[in-house]
Structure 1
Amino acid sequence: MSPTTLPDGATLRTARPGDEPGILHLIHALAVYEREPDAVENTTDALTRSLFGPDPQVFTHIVERGGEIVGIAMWFVTYSTWTGRHGIWLEDLFVDEAQRGRGYGRALIAALAALCVERDYSRLEWTVLDWNAPSIAFYRSLGAIPMDEWTTQRLTGTELETLAATADGGGRDV
């Protein structure tokens, strides 16, 4: 993606090496916003490996204003067995609180939508916390629809390790 100058002079572009501290700063700010201030384990080194390593599987678009990263959209490619086409999973969208209302969130999502169209991807998806009314209203204003019949499932920590230990065929399906 070529950098895009937004109406107020900010720049929308893909992340590049050296952006890791600014990205991590916004990840921490997102964790505070989502009421999980101590949950972030990510580091600048981990971001470097994930975003710029030999086979990156996660990507980030940023908004930069005055030399500072003020918005991020971190995403990865998904695949739909039903459509037979890829899509984008938006893992995190965050705009610094002091920079909200300038259209940066919309610009970030629009850039991902354009990427979907350009690559013939069938969907752009993400989750939102059910208590986050401002974000839900924002997403509805873009035309996003809730997938209320779907519930996110997650394995982590001990449960993940316990299940992994059965990968040799020792476990039974339910």
Structure 2
Amino acid sequence: MTGFDKVKVTIRQTDERDVSLILGFIRAIAEFEHLSDSVMTTEEDLSKSLFGPRPYAEVAVAEVGNKSAGFVMFFHNFSSFAGKPGLYIEDIYVHPEYRGRGVGRSLMVYCARIAKERGCGRMDWSVLNWNPARKFYESLGAQAHEEWIIYRMGEKAFSELAEG
């Protein structure tokens, strides 16, 4: 593959046989974001959380030919203001050799279709402020909400809070 020609992309929902592929994508996005040391999940964790009795997220893979080119992990949240579910994109990643070729757009279109089919009021995701993909998201019609600050409470902190 040469240049930035668009490619034929197939998006497929994953199943339990894809756990090692999903973990590979998680490691790839962590490396891209300079967060490799933060990845603690295992194939067993993913299998239970994605394909167990109560799946907490869904994953789709973008394929070009017979090669996995990218992935998206998403789940539903809820907007009390809209009174509707939302679709939250936890991770979206395209291997470098496929960027600029329609793979990321195909993954976003896939999510938009799911959000529409499921009656969602919005789609949300977070992007590191240095990530060049911000221009791509804005080209799709997304807007940065810089007035909102993301707070995060890790397992240790919420365990301490829960114990009073």
Give the TM-score, by structure 1 length. 0.86
Deviation at 1:120, TM superposition (A): 1.3
Q: Is contact 2:70–2:93 with CA below 8 Å preserved after alignment? A: yes
Bigger radius of gyration: 1
- Quote the RMSD (CA, aligned, Å): 1.4
DSSP 3-state at the match of 1:149: coil
Distance 1:83 1:136 in 2: 25
DSSP 3-state at the match of 2:36: coil
Q: Is contact 1:22–1:68 with CA below 8 Å preserved after alignment? A: no
Q: Is contact 1:78–1:89 with CA below 8 Å preserved after alignment? A: yes
2:23 maps to a residue whose letter is L
DSSP 3-state at the match of 2:159: helix
Distance 1:158 1:61 in 2: 30
Q: Is contact 2:115–2:122 with CA below 8 Å preserved after alignment? A: yes
2:59 maps to a residue whose letter is T
Distance 1:115 1:66 in 2: 23
Partner of 2:92: 93
Distance 1:8 1:93 in 2: 18
DSSP 3-state at the match of 1:19: helix
How many residue pairs end up in the alignment?
A: 159
Distance 2:100 2:84 in 1: 34
Distance 2:79 2:61 in 1: 26
DSSP 3-state at the match of 1:69: strand
Question: After the TM superposition, which of the residue ranges 44-53 and 79-88 deviates more from structure 2?
Answer: 44-53
DSSP 3-state at the match of 1:18: helix
Distance 2:113 2:106 in 1: 10
Matches within 5 A, 1:7-156: 8-132=7-131, 134-156=132-154
DSSP 3-state at the match of 2:37: coil
Q: Deviations over 1:82-127 (max 9, x none)?
A: 1110010000000111221221111111111111111111000000
Deviation at 1:157, TM superposition (A): 4.1
Give the TM-score, by structure 2 length. 0.91
Distance 1:64 1:16 in 2: 15
Gaps in structure 2 of 5+ consecutive residues:
1-5
DSSP 3-state at the match of 1:38: helix
Distance 1:157 1:56 in 2: 20
Distance 2:94 2:25 in 1: 8
DSSP 3-state at the match of 1:77: strand
Gaps in structure 1 of 5+ consecutive residues:
1-6, 167-174
DSSP 3-state at the match of 1:114: helix
Distance 1:44 1:66 in 2: 25
Q: Is contact 1:13–1:62 with CA below 8 Å preserved after alignment? A: yes
Distance 2:46 2:139 in 1: 31
Are 1:161 and 2:159 counterparts? Answer: yes
Q: Deviations over 1:45-99 (max 9, x none)?
A: 1111111111212001111234332211100001110111001000000011122
